Amino acid sequence: GAVVSQHPSWVICKSGTSVKIECRSLDFQATTMFWYRQFPKQSLMLMATSNEGSKATYEQGVEKDKFLINHASLTLSTLTVTSAHPEDSSFYICSAGGTSTSYNEQFFGPGTRLTVL
């Protein structure tokens, strides 16, 4: 089955620093990847849609200058949290839909837990 990996799985950083999270589709090409943030009551919030070779589409209320998304290849999308603050501490999850998968099929990464001190 298709596998999506995320790196790192857990990161702790100081306030004001930037953190990059990678999302990789290991055995398929993903033209579209999605970035989610998980809130305390366990709902996932879609942050942005990342399209290979073009700018990401951000959901309303998500600061594009703070959450930089790059989808430079068909197997890699990165989310950079710039000037992180404690309120950015959360669980970030990516998912990918490949060109060969059905429209509704999404392969999720295991998530990255970010803790900002």
Partner 1 sequence: DQQVKQNSPSLSVQEGRISILNCDYTNSMFDYFLWYKKYPAEGPTFLISISSIKDKNEDGRFTVFLNKSAKHLSLHIVPSQPGDSAVYFCAASITGNQFYFGTGTSLTVIP
Closest CA to 77 of 17, 107, 32, 28: 32
CA distances from 109 to 9, 22, 29, 93 (A): 10, 10, 14, 6
Closest distance to partner 1 from the beta carbon of 15 (Å): 22
Site string for partner 1, 59-88 (x = CB under 8 A): x-----------------------------
How far apart are alpha carbons 106 and 92 in whole angstroms? Answer: 16
Asked if 104 and 3 count as a contact pair (C-beta separation under 8 A), the reply is no
Q: Is 25 in the site for partner 1 (CB under 8 A)?
A: no
Residue 81 or 96: the one with the smaller Cβ distance to partner 1 is 96
Q: Which residues bind partner 1 (CB under 8 A)?
A: 1-3, 9-10, 34, 36, 38, 41-46, 59, 91, 93, 95, 101-102, 104-108, 110-111, 113
